[in-house]
């Protein structure tokens, strides 16, 4: 600095001072910039790697629940019962053959072996029974509820025995053992997130069967077939369940009500791409599926019209309506048992 | 400098006076050093992670190699025959009380080695399906343990030795097709099985010759199928396996290559030469090939994780299992859903990666959504696992639905 | 240059350090690595093709070193597993390359094993991929009125054909294709192999 001061030209000195200040400011600015950059890179790396390592956490409410993994099924007699219950749940047509009158299994609607939220998961069902149900106007035990599943969703009227498993059948005990295990550590009686089917509000423009036909053709038909009969693999085993017709659930099933079907579709369909359809599309697709004939309601005593009054009043369903000149609810021909070819 | 005038050198070369290095420069240096050190630290720890992961993979593969018979059954057989061996009504025969399990030990070993197709009668029910051949994916040791376990649980028991399996393998080494129904087993291997329904071979259609010529030497001088996909449709690393895919699926893909709906520069020029009849005939041809699997894990994926994804999916990532759509053993569901069993891992992983990139463009389509939720490691894991599966069985035109 | 000696010493030290780290250490690490069990030595034909590969400058755009999954999605691109030292046992000098203007070629023989495809693609890459920026190599081919016996005719899509003529591969083209098809390192990696374990934590599944 001393050398500089000996320079005669004060003008230059002033300029130098300005230069010095500019240089200093730029160095400070550069330092700050580099520090910021380094910090940002470190932070980004940290988050980037984190994001790749852990699963994206699903939005979860206060009472979300995760069932135990299959590998945690205990050994011993209890485990045998749980495993058999799971086998019935997944392979209903074989394990409970005398009581199944269609090509569905429990897991056709209760996805992921009854584990998936918003597809009426069994861990949520287990903690909410016994329960009063308007459907049969009484307090229902889990066994009563399962009896209903067999009667309606599994169309037991078309089964070899012609009805659901009798009271006290070990099928109930094993299924309940499986549900109980799925609900390990779940709070009893609590409303769990993901229980039942999604409650989907009816959009302003309602539901429409013809719009539904287009939605079905675009989003559903590649798996369930244009004719709604599902698809089988090379061994004739049902991979995608039939949605209507003699091999599907009957008119008494919960899925035959539009609100249930729409909620199920919205949350779960197409499988693996749930919640990609709009509410409107879900309702319309449900309308198309529900406005097809299926096995008759086993509770029907007189005519369809009488049965509408007795059991279907207030339901959102095509039951008892006439579509294309056909009275829905008349039922399909008695299904041919287990004949896939 | 002003003290000793005499000593001043007139030819003095001016030099920069000493000045302090501004403090910020130190900060920059420290920050950069810190950054470097941190990066180095992360790298070195990840280096160990990589090695650890590799050892874990090797152990997984080894564990699969030495798995007990019942563990092999649970992973390899239970998707069809079910964990309790009851089978599936009308589709998969039960094992409990089956005359084939109860017959001489050679029968079960032969069925495992070559698979079986066509009518078969078990416990009074008739079945007409396809069991894959495990000969190319399980070694003699594994087959011996598996057969011993099945016969111990549902049959007369007794031990089957690896040596016995080796003898049986050598005895039928020339065989290129699965066993033709229960009838062939009952008449050639063990008559105690009893009367089985007759096996009717599928009729050969006249198109087959054209398809064979396109496949082996190409159409009008064009590249032949075999020149990349192998003479038996077995594929290579990076080239997909075609043998055993459903005929409809193959025909549809060839059409998609032609019209550009499945963009592929390598397939397009040759696919454009084909007529509709060629596509159908080629589909039938490759579907009918019973080619042993030559796929093996090649992407350093975690096979155990792959098995989990294929069999159970992952609830936390909202991933359904592969098999819930691609069929219980990954054999596909005609006509839209392809077989994924024994597929080449780099093809599977590459396809999944390509589908994942489509996510934003095609809302509602299934595979892009699923592939988009798979991490890169998961894609490799599942591709490597699928490569360990037995190939999907050959189907003849009578099976086409 | 007041203090030239320290400067020279410093420069030599840096050079020595670099030599140790970049030449001596790798040599100690991988110099004795034997050829991988599944790797075959090049045939004369393939070696001629290899020389052509060098002289045509393929290496300026194509690497021959697939990376570990943690570093690049090379395996998913179909380029094969990360290469190991033993993969290059017969490559002297190696043609690893540094640029990836085109795809990695270490496993091109497995990925694109069709010799007729390779010939078409060398003659005119745009006949296969309209967007390809790879130069064409027409000088490796001959355009004739008709093929003589023993000629290897190159198939071209309709819009690329020359009416009344056929395109025939010269021996050079066939050598080059033989070399390309020999690029196949899909055999399993020996457990003891020296290899790249990747660096990112993102690759781990656990």
* pLDDT at residue B267 is higher than 60: yes
Reported as a single tens digit per residue, the pLDDT across B215-237 is 888 888 888 899 999 888 998 88
- The whole-number average pLDDT for the span B125-145 is 89
Is the residue at C202 inside a domain? no
Task: Indicate whether A91 belongs to any domain.
Answer: yes
In a domain, C130, yes or no: yes
- What is the reported pLDDT for B399? 45
A311 interface with B at CB cutoff 8 Å: no
Residues of C in contact with A49 (CB under 8 A): 200-202
Alpha-carbon distance of B19 to A92, in angstroms, equals 87
What average pLDDT does chain C have? 87
CATH code for position A261? 1.10.760.10
Query: What percent of chain C stands above pLDDT 90?
Result: 48
C-alpha triplet A126, A130, A132: angle, nearest 5°: 125
Return the CATH class of domain B202-401: mainly alpha
- Band (pLDDT 50/70/90 cuts) for residue A5 is very low
- The reply to whether A157 and A255 lie within a common domain is no
From CA C206, how far away is CA C203, in angstroms rounded?
A: 9
Neighbours of A24 (CB within 10 A): 12
Cβ–Cβ below 8 Å for A48 and C201: no
In a domain, C78, yes or no: yes
Q: Between chains, do C116 and B223 touch, taking CB under 8 Å as contact?
A: yes
- Interface residue ranges in chain C relative to chain A, Cβ cutoff 8 Å: 200-202, 204
Quote the pLDDT of residue C11.
94
B392–A contact, CB cutoff 8 A = yes
- Whether A272 and B370 lie within 8 Å, measured CB to CB: yes
Q: Using CA atoms, how far apart are residues A249 and A245, in angstroms rounded to an integer?
A: 8
Nearest residue, CB atoms, B236 vs list C113, C202, C204: C113
Which one has a higher pLDDT value, B300 or A53?
B300
A323-337, B158-172, C60-74: which has the minimum mean pLDDT?
A323-337
Are the Cβ atoms of C201 and A53 closer than 8 angstroms? yes
Asked if residue C175 is part of any domain, the answer here is: yes
Instruction: Compute the average pLDDT of residues B368-379.
Output: 86
Measure the CA–CA gap between C139 and A267, rounded to whole angstroms. 61
Query: Containing domain of residue A96, as a range?
Result: 74-182
How remote is the C-alpha of A281 from its chain's centroid?
16
For B46, the closest chain A residue by CA position comes to A49
Q: Which residue from C minimizes the CA distance to A53?
A: C202
pLDDT category of residue A338 using cuts at 50, 70 and 90: very low
pLDDT value at residue A116: 86
Q: How many Å lie between the alpha carbon of B396 and the closest alpha carbon of chain C? A: 28
Q: Which residues of B touch A274 (CB under 8 A)?
A: 318
Probe site for chain B from A52, A123, A237 (most B CB atoms < 10 A): A237
Asked if residue B40 has pLDDT above 60, the reply is yes
CB-based contact B300 C78, cutoff 8 Å: no
Could C204 and A49 be called an inter-chain contact, meaning their C-beta atoms sit closer than 8 Å?
no
Lowest mean pLDDT among A213-217, C26-30, C53-57: C26-30
In a domain, C49, yes or no: yes
Q: Is residue C200 part of a domain?
A: no
Name the residue of chain A whose CA is nearest to C206's CA. Answer: A53
Is pLDDT at C58 greater than 90 in this prediction? Answer: yes
Tokens of B316: 């936390």
Distance from CA of B27 to the nearest CA of C (A): 25
Closest Cα of chain C to A70: distance in Å?
19
Instruction: Name the residue facing C117 among B227, B272, B377 (closest C-beta).
Output: B227
- Backbone Cα Rg of chain C: 22
Range of the domain at C185: 8-189
- pLDDT averaged over every residue in chain B: 83
Chains that touch A (3 or more CB pairs under 8 A): B, C
Q: What is the DSSP letter of A333?
A: P
CB proximity under 8 Å: B 293-312 to A: 312
Nearest by CB: A27 against B25, B336, B365: B25
Contacts of B353 in chain C (CB under 8 A): 73, 76-77
Same domain, A168 and A115: yes
Mean pLDDT of A55-78: 71
- Closest of B306, B318, B394, B290 to residue B348, by C-alpha: B306
C55 pLDDT band, cuts 50/70/90, is very high
Report CB contact under 8 Å: C199, B350.
no
Quickly name the fold that domain B69-193 has.
Answer: Cytochrome Bc1 Complex; Chain D, domain 2 (1.10.760)
Q: What's the pLDDT band for A334 if we cut at 50, 70, 90? A: low
Q: Calculate how close chain A gets to B308, using CA atoms only, in Å.
A: 11
Separation of alpha carbons A225 and B223, rounded Å: 36
In chain A, which residues have their Cβ closer than 8 Å to the Cβ of B25?
Answer: 27, 31
Instruction: State the Cα–Cα distance between residues A307 and A196, nearest whole angstrom.
Output: 26
A233 to chain B, any CB pair closer than 8 A? The answer is yes
Which of B91, B84, B153 lies closest to A84 in space, CA to CA? B84
pLDDT higher than 50, residue A4: no
Find chains touching chain B: ≥3 CB pairs under 8 Å: A, C
* CA nearest to B220 within chain C: C155
Residues in chain B: 401
Give residue ranges of A with CB < 8 Å to any C CB: 48-49, 52-53
Does C64 score more than 90 pLDDT? yes
* Residue A53 to residue C200, Cβ atoms within 8 A: no
Closest-CA residue in chain B for C78? B238
pLDDT of residue C101: 93
Answer yes or no: is A69 within a domain: no
Contacts of C200 in chain A (CB under 8 A): 49
Task: State the average pLDDT over residues A198-215.
Answer: 88
**In this prediction, what percent of chain B has a pLDDT beyond 90?**
9
Would C197 be classed as within a structural domain?
no
Of residues C204 and A173, which shows the higher confidence score?
A173
All residues of chain B having their beta carbon less than 8 Å from the beta carbon of residue C155 are: 218, 220-223
Query: Long-range contacts for A27-36 (Cβ within 8 Å, ≥24 apart)?
Result: A27/B22, A27/B24, A27/B25, A28/B24, A30/B24, A30/B28, A31/B24, A31/B25, A31/B27, A31/B28, A34/B28, A34/B31, A34/B32, A35/B27, A35/B28, A35/B31
Average confidence (pLDDT) over B257-280: 88
Tell me: pLDDT of B300 over 70.
yes
Average pLDDT over residues A248-265: 90
Within 13 Å of residue A208, how many CA atoms lie on the same side as its CB?
A: 9
The answer to whether the pTM exceeds 0.80 is yes
* Mean pLDDT, chain A, integer: 82
What pLDDT shows up at residue B7?
65
Please count the structural domains in chain A: 2
With a cut of 60, say whether residue B110 has pLDDT above it: yes
Q: Is the pLDDT of residue A8 over 60?
A: no
- What span, in angstroms and rounded, lies between the C-alpha atoms of B245 and B338? 6
Please report the pLDDT score of residue B343 as a whole number: 92
From chain B, pick out residues whose CB is under 8 angstroms from the CB of A237.
80, 88, 90-92, 129, 327-328
Answer yes or no: is pLDDT of A337 > 60.
no
Look at C69 and B377 and tell me if their CB atoms are within 8 Å: yes
Predicted confidence (pLDDT) per residue in A99-158, tens digit: 988 889 998 999 888 888 888 888 888 888 888 888 778 888 888 888 888 999 999 888
CA distance A53 to chain C (A): 6
| A48·C202 Cβ contact <8 A | yes
**pLDDT exceeds cutoff 70 at B27:** yes
**Structure confidence at residue B6 as a pLDDT band (50, 70, 90):** low
Whether residue C205 and residue B302 make contact (CB cut-off 8 A), yes or no, is yes
Residues A151, A224: one domain?
Answer: no
To the nearest whole Å, the CA of B349 is away from the closest chain C CA by 5
Average pLDDT, integer, range A258-271: 89
Most confident of A27-31, B47-51, B383-387: B383-387
Is the CB of residue B81 less than 8 Å away from at least one CB of chain A?
no
A213 and A323 fall within a common domain: yes
Q: Residue C137's domain is classified under what CATH number?
A: 1.10.760.10
Total domains present in chain C:
1
**pLDDT in the model for residue B376:** 84
Task: Say how many CA atoms lie within 13 Å of C203 toward its Cβ.
Answer: 27
| Residue B65 scores a pLDDT above 80 | no
Averaged pLDDT for residues A35-48: 74
Q: A213 and A174 in one domain?
A: no
Chain B residue numbers with beta carbons less than 8 Å from the beta carbon of C109 are none
What contacts A68, CB < 8 A, 6 or more positions away? A181, A182, A184
Please judge whether A3 and B24 are an interchain contact, meaning their C-beta atoms are less than 8 angstroms apart: no
Are B202 and B130 a contacting pair, CB within 8 Å?
no
Above 0.95 for ipTM, yes or no? no
Q: Residue B58: its chain C contacts at CB < 8 A?
A: 191
Chain B CB contacts of C113 below 8 Å: 227-228, 236, 239
Q: What is the pLDDT of residues C184-205, one digit of tens each?
A: 988 877 766 776 665 544 333 3
Taking residues A274-303, report their average pLDDT: 88
Among the partner-chain residues A31, A42, A274, the one whose CB lies closest to the CB of B38 is A42
**Residue A178 sits in the same domain as residue A217:** no
Lowest model confidence (mean pLDDT) among A304-308, B164-168, B251-255, C176-180: A304-308
A215 and A320 assigned to the same domain: yes
* Over residues B363-370, mean pLDDT: 74
Joined tokens for residue B185: 């087993």
pLDDT tens-digit series, residues A215-245: 998 888 888 988 989 888 888 888 899 999 8
Domain boundaries, chain B: 69-193, 202-401
B260–chain C nearest CA distance, Å: 13
Whether residue A5 lies inside any domain: the answer is: no
A52 occurs within a structural domain? no
Given an 8 Å threshold on Cβ–Cβ distance, is B376 in contact with C204? no
CA distance B238 to chain A (A): 26
pLDDT of C1: 56
Say if residue C52's pLDDT is above 50.
Answer: yes
* Chain B 29-68, residues with CB within 8 Å of chain A CB atoms: 31-32, 34-35, 38, 42
């Amino acid at each position: 600095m001393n050398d500089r001061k000996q320079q005669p030209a004060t003008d230059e000195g002033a300029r130098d001072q300005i230069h010095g200040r500019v240089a200093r400011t730029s160095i400070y600015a550069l330092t700050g910039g580099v520090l910021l950059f380094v910090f940002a890179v470190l932070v980004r790396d940290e988050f980037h790697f984190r994001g790749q390592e852990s699963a994206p956490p699903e939005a979860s409410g206060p009472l979300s629940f995760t069932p135990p993994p299959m590998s945690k099924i205990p050994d011993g007699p209890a485990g045998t019962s749980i495993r058999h219950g799971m086998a019935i749940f997944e392979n209903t047509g074989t394990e409970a053959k005398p009581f199944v009158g269609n090509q569905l299994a429990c897991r056709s609607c209760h996805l992921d072996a009854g584990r998936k939220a918003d597809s009426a998961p069994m861990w949520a069902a287990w903690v909410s029974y016994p329960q009063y149900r308007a459907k049969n106007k009484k307090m229902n035990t889990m066994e009563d509820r399962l009896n209903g599943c067999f009667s309606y969703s599994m169309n037991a009227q078309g089964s070899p025995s012609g009805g659901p498993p009798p009271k006290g059948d070990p099928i109930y005990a094993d299924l309940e053992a499986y549900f109980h295990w799925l609900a390990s550590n779940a709070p009893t009686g609590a409303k769990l997130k993901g229980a039942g089917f999604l409650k989907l509000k009816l959009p302003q423009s309602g539901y429409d069967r013809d719009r539904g036909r287009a939605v079905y053709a675009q989003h559903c038909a590649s798996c369930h077939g244009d004719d709604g009969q599902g698809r089988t693999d090379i061994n004739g085993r049902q991979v995608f369940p039939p949605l209507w017709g003699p091999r599907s659930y009957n008119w008494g099933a919960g899925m035959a009500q539009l609100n249930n079907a729409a909620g199920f579709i919205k949350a779960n369909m197409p499988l693996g791409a749930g919640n990609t359809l709009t509410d409107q599309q879900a309702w319309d697709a449900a309308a198309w599926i529900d406005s097809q004939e299926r096995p008759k309601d086993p509770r029907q005593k007189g005519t369809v019209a009488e049965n509408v009054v007795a059991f279907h009043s207030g339901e959102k369903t095509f039951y008892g309506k006439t579509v294309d000149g056909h009275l829905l609810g008349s039922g399909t021909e008695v299904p041919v048992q287990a004949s896939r070819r | 400098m002003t003290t000793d005038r005499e000593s001043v050198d007139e030819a003095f070369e001016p030099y920069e006076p000493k000045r302090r290095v501004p403090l910020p420069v130190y900060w920059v240096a420290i920050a950069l050093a810190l950054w470097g050190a941190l990066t180095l630290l992360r790298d070195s720890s990840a280096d160990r992670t990589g090695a650890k992961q590799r050892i874990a993979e090797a152990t997984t593969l080894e564990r699969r190699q030495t798995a007990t018979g019942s563990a092999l059954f649970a992973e390899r057989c239970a998707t069809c025959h079910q964990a309790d061996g009851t089978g599936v009504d009308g589709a998969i025969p039960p094992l409990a009380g089956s005359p084939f399990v109860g017959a001489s030990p050679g029968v079960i070993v032969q069925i495992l080695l070559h698979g079986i197709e066509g009518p078969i009668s078990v416990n009074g029910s008739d079945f007409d399906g396809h069991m894959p051949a495990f000969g190319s994916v399980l070694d003699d040791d594994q087959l011996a343990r598996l057969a011993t376990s099945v016969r111990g649980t549902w049959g007369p028991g007794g031990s089957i030795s690896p040596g016995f399996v080796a003898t049986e393998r050598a005895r039928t080494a020339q065989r290129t097709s699965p066993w033709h129904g229960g009838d062939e087993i009952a008449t050639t291997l063990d008559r105690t099985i009893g009367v089985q329904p007759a096996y009717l071979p599928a009729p050969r259609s006249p198109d087959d010759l054209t398809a064979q010529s396109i496949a082996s030497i190409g159409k009008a001088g064009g590249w032949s199928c075999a020149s990349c996909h192998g003479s038996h449709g077995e594929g290579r690393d990076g080239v997909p396996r075609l043998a055993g895919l459903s005929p409809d699926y193959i025909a549809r893909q060839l059409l998609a290559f032609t019209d550009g709906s499945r963009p592929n520069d390598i397939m397009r020029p040759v696919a454009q030469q084909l007529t509709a009849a060629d596509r159908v005939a080629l589909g039938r041809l490759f579907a009918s090939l019973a080619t042993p699997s030559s796929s093996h894990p090649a992407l350093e994926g975690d096979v155990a994780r792959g098995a989990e994804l294929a069999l159970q999916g992952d609830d936390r990532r909202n991933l359904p299992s592969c098999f819930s759509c691609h069929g219980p053993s990954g054999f596909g569901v005609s006509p839209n859903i392809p077989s994924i069993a024994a597929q080449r891992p780099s093809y599977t992983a590459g396809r999944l990666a390509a589908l994942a990139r489509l996510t934003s463009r095609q809302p509602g389509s299934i595979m892009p959504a699923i592939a988009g939720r798979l991490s890169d490691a998961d894609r490799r894991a599942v591709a490597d696992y699928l490569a360990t599966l037995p190939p999907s069985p050959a189907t003849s035109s009578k099976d086409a639905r | 240059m007041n203090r030239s000696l320290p400067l020279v010493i410093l420069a030599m030290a840096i050079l020595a350090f670099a030599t140790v780290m970049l030449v001596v250490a790798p040599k100690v690490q991988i110099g004795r690595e034997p050829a991988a069990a599944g790797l075959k030595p090049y045939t004369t034909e393939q070696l001629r093709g290899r020389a052509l590969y060098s002289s045509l400058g393929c290496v300026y755009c194509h690497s021959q070193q697939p990376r570990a999954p943690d570093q690049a999605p090379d395996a998913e691109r179909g380029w094969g597993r990360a290469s190991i030292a033993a993969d290059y046992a017969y490559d002297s000098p190696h043609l690893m390359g540094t640029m990836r203007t085109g795809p990695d070629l270490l496993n091109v023989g497995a990925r694109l094993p069709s010799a007729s495809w390779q010939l078409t693609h060398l003659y005119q890459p745009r006949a296969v991929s309209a967007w390809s920026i790879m130069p064409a190599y027409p000088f490796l081919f001959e355009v004739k009125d008709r093929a003589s016996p023993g000629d290897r005719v190159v198939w071209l899509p309709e819009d690329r054909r020359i009416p009344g003529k056929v395109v025939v591969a010269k021996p050079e083209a066939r050598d080059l294709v033989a070399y390309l098809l020999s690029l196949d390192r899909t055999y399993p990696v020996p457990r003891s192999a020296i290899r790249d374990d990747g660096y990112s934590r993102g690759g781990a599944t656990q």
